[in-house]
Structure 1
Amino acid sequence: MGTVFYILFGGNYYITEQYYLLLLQVIIITFFLPLSFFYLLRTFGKVDTIMLSDLSQRKIPLLMQMILTAVLIQKSVTIEQFPELYFFFLGGIGSTFIAFALIFVKIKASIHMIAMSALSFFVIGLSMHNELNIIYTIASLFLITGIVASSRLVMKAHTIEELIIGYVSGMLPQILMWILWL
């Protein structure tokens, strides 16, 4: 979704075909490859469900996500071509590392909240960087974040503390990246 918002609000510096290629690369590396790895891990009995409710089951998927995102920003979303998107994914690696490190102190951060807060603050950064008034988009993202948080509570997948930890873990790296690209 960050790539979609970048294409929509990042300024039109490239032709449409280049944006399609970018989107295809991002979808392959951030969706299809992790999904394939999930089924591989499930086959070997390393994970039970896609929700990864057990802390020990989160280590390998989070580590793989960091590696795949690092490959993405090294090969496809480079700082020279897509600087804003590069820093979004770099912040994503930071957020994933925080979630990974928290596992070792037996703290489960909500990955859903990490994703929603990272996306929200990236869009806020795009709004400031490109001087766009997209307040309704930003408000909608915060509304959706609340809905996601509520659903995680209703499903008893997380506690309020885990949601807050996840939210802050997604927000802080994005705000720190603003220093480099705003």
Structure 2
Amino acid sequence: MKNFILKSISFVFHPLIMPLLGVIFYFSKTPRYIPEPVMKAKIFSIVILTIILPILLFFLLKTVNKVNTIYLKSTKERLIPLFINCIIILLILFRVLPPGEILGLFYFFLGILISTFICFILAVFKIKASIHMIAAAGFFMFAINTAVNYHININGTIALMTVILGAIATSRLHLKAHTNQELILGLFTGLTPQLVLLNYWL
């Protein structure tokens, strides 16, 4: 039962869903008026580009034996998916969330791009960082940034995300997917770009 729960945590909080959670969180918390059709269009685009497209590309890469599992266990497996993900995020930044439209989300995805590129460079040098922790920590820091920027109380969200981060770390350790060092590296790789970019949209 314990093994099932911990495996489920890794699956439910997969890195692919974190960008979407960030977008939904922003739209639900921002005091800015954003027309509902605009929000729906952005969410739809993010679902297509950050979830559906990567899954389809994963199956393509699996077919040609470039990856084995969706968890990308080796640094070699990570190179192509991370590079493709950088391109996808660039597409989002230029076409879906340009800087002059929704500034907070633009910097959120810019932070994701920086974290993904850092993870790619680490993989080139055969260094693993937990992608689960990168994604979850990035969303966590973005939620705090949103609260700071708009002066809103999200203590409940912060407490919940702290528990989730702990659960993800426990899950990855239990499944022997990462070491403590890889989890910590992932945590700071996700947090730091979002924290630094806060200065640009305050």
TM bracket (short chain): over 0.9
**What is the match of residue 165 of structure 1?**
185
1:154 to 174, 183, 193: 174
**What is the match of residue 9 of structure 2?**
none
Flag as ranges the 4+ runs of structure 1 deviating above 2 A.
none
TM-score, scaled to structure 2: 0.88
Count of matched residue positions in the alignment of Structure 1 and Structure 2:
182
Distance 2:75 2:82 in 1: 11
Aligned-CA RMSD value:
0.8
Task: Report whether the alignment pairs 1:18 with 2:45.
Answer: no
Distance 1:104 1:27 in 2: 28
Identity of aligned residues (%): 38
Task: Report whether the alignment pairs 1:140 with 2:169.
Answer: no
User: Residue 92 of structure 1: SS of its match in structure 2?
Assistant: helix
Task: Report whether the alignment pairs 1:67 with 2:87.
Answer: yes
User: Residue 129 of structure 2: SS of its match in structure 1?
Assistant: coil
Distance 1:63 1:105 in 2: 14
Deviation at 1:18?
1.2
**What is the match of residue 97 of structure 2?**
77
Task: Report whether the alignment pairs 1:86 with 2:115.
Answer: no
2:74 to 54, 71, 89: 54
Amino acid at match of 2:111: G
Distance 2:198 2:184 in 1: 21
Amino acid at match of 1:141: M
Q: Which runs of 5+ in 1 are unaligned?
A: none
* Contact persistence 2:79–2:123 (CA under 8 A): yes
Deviation at 1:13?
1.7
Q: Which runs of 5+ in 2 are unaligned?
A: 1-20
User: Residue 79 of structure 1: SS of its match in structure 2?
Assistant: coil
Deviation at 1:23?
0.3
Distance 1:76 1:98 in 2: 23
TM-score, scaled to structure 1: 0.98
